[in-house]
Amino acid sequence: MAKEWTNGFYTSKEWRKTRDAYYRIQCGRCERCMAEVLAGARRVEDINPGIIVHHKKELTPENINDPAVALSFDNLELLCDEHHNRQHKAKAKRYTFDAKGNLIESK
């Protein structure tokens, strides 16, 4: 869940344009799934779609207005739900969607 002080940022035109462009450049694929494929730890057909453009260096009230942190492709990473949850140690969702948008129960 985003912090209250980020609300204006995540609804800004600048963020939406940056997020959408970054998503397109990554072809909608989770970067960590792709890295696992290259390392031989995941099959190509098991690459999850990226759903969250994640900031590698966490945004803070002090850096949220710094474009080099908040809007730089160098600080972004497209992640699937699985990898984003791992990053934030969140509880995995009980249900998810497959590539065709069908609801599936998570394992």
Q: Residues 30-46: pLDDT tens digits?
A: 999 999 999 999 999 99
Residues belonging to the chain: 107
Q: Which of 52, 53, 35 is nearest to 44 (CA)?
A: 35
Domains identified in the chain, total number: 1
- 32, 79 in Cβ contact below 8 A? yes
- 83, 30 in Cβ contact below 8 A? yes
* The residue type at 78: L
What pLDDT, in 10s, does the model give residues 22-80? 999 999 999 999 999 999 999 999 999 999 999 999 999 999 999 999 999 999 999 99
Domain of residue 32 covers 4-105
The C-alpha atoms of residue 19 and residue 14 are separated, in whole angstroms, by: 9
